[in-house]
Amino acid sequence: MTELTRRGFNKGLGATTALGALSLSGIAPATAAGKAQVVVVGGGFGGATAAKYIKRFDPKIGVTLVEPSKRFVTCPFSNTVIGGLNTIDYITHGYDALKGLGVEVVHDSAAAVDGAKKQVRLAGGGSIGFDRCIVAPGVDFRWEAIEGLDAGTAARIPHAWKAGAQTLLLRKQLEAMADGGVFVISPPVNPFRCPPGPGERISLVASYFKTAKPRSKIIVLDPKEKFSKEGLFKEGWAALYPGMIEYRNLAEDGLVRRVDPASRTLYTDFGEETGDVVNFIPAQKAGKIAQVSGLADKTEWCPIHPRSFESTLQPGVHVIGDASIAAPMPKSAFTASTQAKVCAEAVVNLLRGAAPGAPKFINVCYSLVGENYGISVAMVYGYRDGRIVKIEGSGGLSPSGATPEFRRKEADYTRGWYESISRDIWG
C-alpha cells in the first residue's frame, strides 16, 4: 500500500485558515498544501455516512473506506425479513454511490489502528496512512458472559443481531418450525445496540405466527427489569397477538445463566425453557478492532470527546456509532449516522485548523409492532459543559391509546425513514 499521508499537513493548513483563506466555495486550503487523508474503518451506518459527508463537506479530502463486505445488510428492517414481510435484498446495499463521490473503498478488514504512527494496518497486508481516522466497527459479542454458547454455536442458536446470514438462518428455522411450536428469545443486558430491537423482533415473529402458525407461542427471557417502549409494545401485543407472548423479566426469573445448544434449552436460576427455535442475543461490547487498538476502556466501549468524537485514548482517531460511549444517546442506526455527520464536520474543521462546532442531534427509533402498526421514541440532543445532553421538553414516546390511523401512519413513516436513511447513506 502506498503512503498517502503528507506530514506537516495539519500545521500548514491551520496557518492558511488563520489567514482567512477559506472561501465560501467550501474548497479547503488543503489543495495548496497537499491532499489530507481520512481513513474510515467500517462501512455500516456510522462509517459509510462519515465517508460520504466528508466528501460532501470537502471533496478535496481523500477518503478511504475499509470494509470487508462488498454488500452491507442492515440490521434495521432485518426484523421484517425474519417476520417474512421483506426479502433480504430489500435490506442489502452496495458502495457504488460512495465510489461515485470519490471515496476509495477497500474491501478488507483493519487489523489495527495505530494513532501514534497514523496508520491503519490491513488484515490482507499493507497499511494506509491517515491524517485522521474514523472507526465505526459496531459491536462484538461477549460470549464469555454466557455459559454454553460461542461464535460456533450461533449456527444452531442464532443471535441475528448482525444482519445477513444470521437473519436468514433465524427466518429458515422459524419457517421450518411446526405450528404449535415454541420460540424462545432472550434479549441482552444493557448497553446493547438497538434497545427496542428485541421488542420489534418479538412483534414481527408474532405477526408471522398469527397468519402462518397461529397455535405457536413466544417465550421471552429478559435479564432486565424493563425494556424500551415496553408500555407501547405490550399495548400492541395485547391488541394484535393476545395470549401469544409470555414475557418474563429479571424479577420473574428472566435471567438466563446457561444454554444447552444441543437440546435448545435455556437455564435460569429457578427453571428452564426448551424452544423449537431459540434466539439468544448475547451481551455486547465495542467491535474487536476497537479493543485491539487501545480505543476501548475497561467497560469495553470507547470513550470520546462528544464534540468531535475524537477518542480520549488515541488522539487523531475518532470513534462513532455503537462502539462509542455517547450516553444518553442510544446505540441506533439513526444515532450512528447523525454522529457520523457531526464527526465528519469536526474532522474537516480540524484538518483546516478550526475548532469543531457545537453538535445537535436527533435520534428517533421507529419500531413495527405489526405491518400497519408503528411506534416511536424520539429525543433531541445538544452539547453542554463537555457532555451530550437531552434537550429538555423535546422527545418522548408515541402516545398510548392512539387511533389505528395514527399507528398506521407511524408504520408508513417507519418505512419512509428506512428508505430515506438508506438512500442518504448508500445512494
Ligand X SMILES: Cc1cc2nc3c(=O)[nH]c(=O)nc-3n(C[C@H](O)[C@H](O)[C@H](O)COP(=O)(O)OP(=O)(O)OC[C@H]3O[C@@H](n4cnc5c(N)ncnc54)[C@H](O)[C@@H]3O)c2cc1C
Q: Which does 314 bind (CB under 5 to 8 A by kind): ligand HEC, another protein, ligand X, none?
A: none
Among 45, 95, 241, 417, binds ligand HEC (CB under 6 A): 417
40-to-287, 313, 321 alpha-carbon distances in Å: 14, 18, 12
Question: Is 97 a binder of ligand HEC (CB under 6 A)?
Answer: no
Provide the minimum distance between the beta carbon of 73 and ligand X in the complex, in angstroms, as a whole number.
9
Q: What is the DSSP string of 390-407?
A: EPTT--EEPPTT--HHHH
Among 112, 122, 362, 391, binds ligand HEC (CB under 6 A): 362
Question: Is 72 a binder of ligand X (CB under 6 A)?
Answer: yes
Provide the minimum distance between the beta carbon of 257 and ligand X in the complex, in angstroms, as a whole number.
23
Residue type, 227: F
Cell numbers describing residue 255: 435471567
Q: Which residues of 329-364 are buried (b: 16+ CB within 10 A; e: fewer)?
A: bbbbbbbbbbbbbbbbbbbbbbbbbeebeebebebb
Query: Longest C-alpha distance within the chain, in Å?
Result: 74
Question: Is 188 a binder of ligand X (CB under 6 A)?
Answer: no
Q: Which does 287 bind (CB under 5 to 8 A by kind): ligand X, another protein, ligand HEC, none?
A: ligand X
**Residue whose CB is less far from another protein, 2 or 403:** 403
DSSP E strands: which ranges in 222-306? 245-248, 256-260, 265-268, 272-274, 277-280, 284-286, 302-305
Question: Is 310 a binder of ligand X (CB under 6 A)?
Answer: no
**Residue whose CB is less far from ligand HEC, 231 or 416:** 416
Task: Determine contact, residues 220/401, Cβ cutoff 8 Å.
Answer: no
Rounded to whole angstroms, the Cα distance separating 4 from 6 reads 7
Q: How big is the chain, counted in residues?
A: 427
Among 75, 154, 220, 326, binds ligand X (CB under 6 A): 75
Question: Is 137 a binder of ligand X (CB under 6 A)?
Answer: yes
Provide the minimum distance between the beta carbon of 296 and ligand X in the complex, in angstroms, as a whole number.
13
Task: Determine contact, residues 326/337, Cβ cutoff 8 Å.
Answer: no
**Residue whose CB is less far from ligand X, 51 or 365:** 365
Provide the minimum distance between the beta carbon of 187 and ligand X in the complex, in angstroms, as a whole number.
11
User: Which H or E run includes 78?
Assistant: helix 78-82
CB atoms within 10 A of CB 1: 16
Q: Which does 300 bind (CB under 5 to 8 A by kind): another protein, ligand HEC, ligand X, none?
A: none
Question: Is 354 a binder of ligand HEC (CB under 6 A)?
Answer: no
Among 46, 158, 282, 374, binds ligand X (CB under 6 A): 46
> Cell 495548496 appears where?
32
Rounded to whole angstroms, the Cα distance separating 32 from 14 reads 12
Site string for ligand X, 154-183 (x = CB under 6 A): -------x----------------------
Among 76, 83, 164, 199, binds ligand X (CB under 6 A): 76
Rounded to whole angstroms, the Cα distance separating 88 from 73 reads 8
DSSP code of residue 73: E
**Residue whose CB is less far from ligand HEC, 115 or 199:** 199
**Residue whose CB is less far from ligand HEC, 141 or 381:** 381
Task: Determine contact, residues 287/323, Cβ cutoff 8 Å.
Answer: yes
Q: Which does 79 bind (CB under 5 to 8 A by kind): ligand HEC, ligand X, another protein, none?
A: ligand X
Question: Is 101 a binder of ligand HEC (CB under 6 A)?
Answer: no
**Residue whose CB is less far from ligand HEC, 90 or 413:** 413
**Residue whose CB is less far from ligand X, 21 or 97:** 97
> Cell 467497560 appears where?
299
Question: Is 38 a binder of ligand X (CB under 6 A)?
Answer: no
Rounded to whole angstroms, the Cα distance separating 252 from 275 reads 18
Among 364, 372, 398, 424, binds ligand HEC (CB under 6 A): 364
Strands 284-286, 139-141: pairing kind: antiparallel
Strands 182-186, 217-221: pairing kind: parallel
- Residues at the contact surface with another protein, assessed by CB under 8 A: 17, 22, 24-27, 53, 56-59, 334, 337-338, 341-342, 345, 348-349, 352, 354-362, 364, 376, 378-382, 391, 393-396, 398, 406, 409-410, 412-413, 415-424
Q: Which residues bind ligand HEC (CB under 6 A)?
A: 362, 364, 413, 417
